[in-house]
Amino acid sequence: MSITRGESAAQAPAASQATAGAGTMTRVRWAVVGLLFAATVLNYMDRQVIGILKPVLQQDLHWNDLDYGHIVFFFQAAYAVGYAGAGRLIDLIGVRWGLFGAVLVWSIAAVSHALVATVGGFAAVRMLLGLGEGGGFPSAIKAIGEWFPRRDRALATGLFNSGSNIGALITPLLVPLLTVHYGWRCAFAVTGGLGLLWLVAWLAFYRPLNRNPRVSATERAYIASDTADALPPVKESWIGLLRHRAVWAYVVGTFLTSPVWWFYLFWVPDFLHRSHGLNISQMGLPLVTIYLMTDVGSIAGGWLSSALIRRGMSPLAARKVAFLVCALCVVPIFLAPILHGLWPATLLIGLAAAAHQGFSANLYTMASDTNPPNAVASVVGLGGMAGAIGGMGVAEAAGVVLQATGSYVILFGCAAGAYLLALLLMHLILPRMPRAAA
């Protein structure tokens, strides 16, 4: 299938350039990052609410760990489908309407959590949430690839991706407050409703780069400064992309590391409750600490590889150095369930989660570095599907392990080595930068 309708930085018409000062360096690209950041905040708030409320919902609705594992599994399954399907769709229709549709669907699904009370009902609305949220990151990574030259992409990705940490930070502060005063249904309704407000701002501001009157000729020239190095457009089917080594490197890296992040997101609140006796009103400070650290990790990981590129290192080598630093920072996480004391465990989880986000920022950027611009969202969708499938396995495995052992030792032990294994396999699959065909 030919991909022909996505917005491209190389297609800027002269008419739109005239509307901004030709010699002025505008900063519209950073406003786009701000909108993507806000969408990512909402994305993670909506998906994390259920993890914060797990102890309350288990008590009120009489769930066990297997029930919760099944609910998370259905979310992951739908997220896998949504990620892959949305990635392909966004390459066809572009970022503006692709991201609008994704946020609309997931916001409606998030609000709908307030209307259900059974395991089956929660599984159904979580599936709808997963389908919508699957469009978030393919849209954002495609937008970054269109609005930023290669040397700035990891930093821009780290900045918008830090929204996941801010969302995960706000949620444990806001949700207990709403739950204590108004009940858990209100917590779902309020957090889901915020996405509907974001849609207004998105449609009012965002226009594709090639039709955006706010962008000056100077900013366009800066964005297009490395387009000569870009890979040529592909005219392949969705499945045909799997013939390329760069696609497999991204898919394998995401499959091995994304499930660890899902584990942190959905099971760490339960770990704090089970291992350290925290109730919903006591979880705020530890979770805020973890996600503040994670926010720093997301930006620092993107900054590290961008700084190395500016000092002359090739993009792929710079990403791999950043991968290694982040992977080594994850290793001590195996100690978290065996340490005595809440704060040593909290700080270890915070370090590992920060390293994940630094790793993730570079992994997303590697996808846009090593694949043609008109296929980036499709490639991100394939990787996201692989990561969600891995998350499905972790959801079921975590429920089974906890039901059988009551301990998180095995789960944190597996997380400790996942990133080093991912880096090794990615290097073997993609030892050097792919070159354009002659």
pLDDT in tens, 138-167: 888 889 888 888 778 878 887 888 888 788
Q: What is the pLDDT of residue 19?
A: 44
Lowest-confidence pick of 199-203, 212-216, 239-243: 239-243
CA distances from 111 to 106, 148, 184, 326 (A): 9, 34, 12, 36
* Domains, in order of start, for the chain: 25-205+243-428 (1.20.1250.20)
Does 102 score more than 80 pLDDT?
yes
pTM, two decimal places? 0.69
Identify the helix (H) or strand (E) that includes residue 106: helix 95-112
Looking up tokens 């995401």 gives 254
In terms of C-beta density within 10 A (0-12 exposed, 13-18 middle, 19 or more buried), how is residue 25 classed?
Answer: exposed
The answer to whether residues 10 and 227 touch, using CB atoms and an 8 Å cutoff, is yes
Give the largest Cα separation in the chain, rounded.
Answer: 67
Q: How far apart are CA 267 and CA 377, in angstroms?
A: 29
What CA dihedral angle connects 40, 380, 254 and 314, to 10 degrees?
-100
pLDDT in tens, 294-348: 888 888 888 898 889 888 888 889 999 999 999 999 999 999 998 888 999 999 9
Does 354 score more than 90 pLDDT?
yes
381 against 201, higher pLDDT? 201
Q: What is the pLDDT of residue 5?
A: 39
Q: What is the pLDDT of residue 99?
A: 93
Does 89 score more than 60 pLDDT?
yes
Average pLDDT for 353-375: 85
Q: How far apart are CA 88 and CA 106, in angstroms?
A: 18
CA distances from 387 to 31, 83, 259 (A): 29, 10, 6
Q: How far apart are CA 353 and CA 108, in angstroms?
A: 29
The answer to whether residues 191 and 110 touch, using CB atoms and an 8 Å cutoff, is yes
Q: What percent of the chain has pLDDT over 70?
A: 91
> Could you tell me the two tokens for 56?
């309350």
Q: What is the pLDDT of residue 331?
A: 95
Does 435 score more than 70 pLDDT?
no
pLDDT tier, 76 (very low <50, low <70, confident <90, very high otherwise)? confident
